[in-house]
Structure 1
């Protein structure tokens, strides 16, 4: 398998229209880890002013799959994931950091911690997810 390549991962992310719509960036892609970030904008908030849970779910799903891609290549599909919302998400940036827990021949299990980042750069854990990624 090829060595994980951040530039290639950025191209794959840019080929996802929904990721482009959200303005998602991939900032880490190597050694069983991937990190996605997006700016928290008013259009992504729910009625109480917090980041919508669907955005957190999207970020977890994509980060889990990108982390799996660092060890299993690009022929992957999410087969399932769970997410626990730990506190309302508010801040300047959402950061989804995923890592491989176990890489098998047909499945890769990953965990993702989701943080909000404030204007001073302080991170607050707001959700945690775990998923199974199918290798096709």
Structure 2
């Protein structure tokens, strides 16, 4: 699968469209998902909400797995560790495959906030397992 095909798959996810997510890199067992920070995505202290970070980790992990194992995948589970408050103008989730097996792909993801000058700062890390499924219907 190439970047344009992966971008089309992302565009078919209503929640991703709602958040304004975009896939900026895809291939060789890696993926980068980005979204612009908006006021409606912040929590009460003005930081990007942890649920948005979790969404980005989940999707980036699964797209990275797809770059190695194809399109028929589902997240089996993931963990996320929040390292510092997420402040910046863009969230960048950079994921890569650690190991691709026949039925499960393990990936890790760095969640970075990008400031006005383009400087990245790591705010969370995630690791997940992505399961392969039989076909488009999940059977």
TM over 0.5: yes
**Aligned residue in 1 for 2:88:** 91
CA separation in 2, counterparts of 1:9 and 1:90?
A: 28
After superposing on structure 2, the runs of 4+ consecutive aligned residues of structure 1 that deviate more than 3 Å are none
- What runs of 5+ residues in structure 1 fail to find an aligned partner? none
1:130 is matched with 127
Describe the superposition over 1:15-39 as per-residue Cα deviations: whole angstroms up to 9, x where unpaired. Answer: 0000000000000001010000000
1:107 alignment partner in structure 2: 104
1:5 to partner: Cα distance: 0.3
Query: How big is the shift at 1:80?
Result: 0.2
Q: Is 1:45 aligned to residue 49 of structure 2?
A: no
State whether structure 2 residue 75 is matched by structure 1 residue 78.
Answer: yes
SS of aligned partner of 2:116: coil
Whole-angstrom CA distance in 2 between matches of 1:112 and 1:71? 15
Task: Describe the superposition over 1:14-69 as per-residue Cα deviations: whole angstroms up to 9, x where unpaired.
Answer: 00000000000000001010000000000000000000000000000000000000
* RMSD of aligned residue pairs (Cα, Å): 0.4
What residue is the counterpart of 1:58 in the other structure?
55
Q: Output the TM-score relative to the length of structure 2.
A: 0.95
| Count of aligned pairs between the two proteins | 133
Match in the other structure for 1:120: 117
1:74-125, Cα deviation, whole Å (9 max, x unpaired):
1000000000000000100000000000000000000000000001000000
The yes-or-no answer on 1:23 pairing with 2:24 is no
Q: TM-score, normalised by structure 1?
A: 0.97
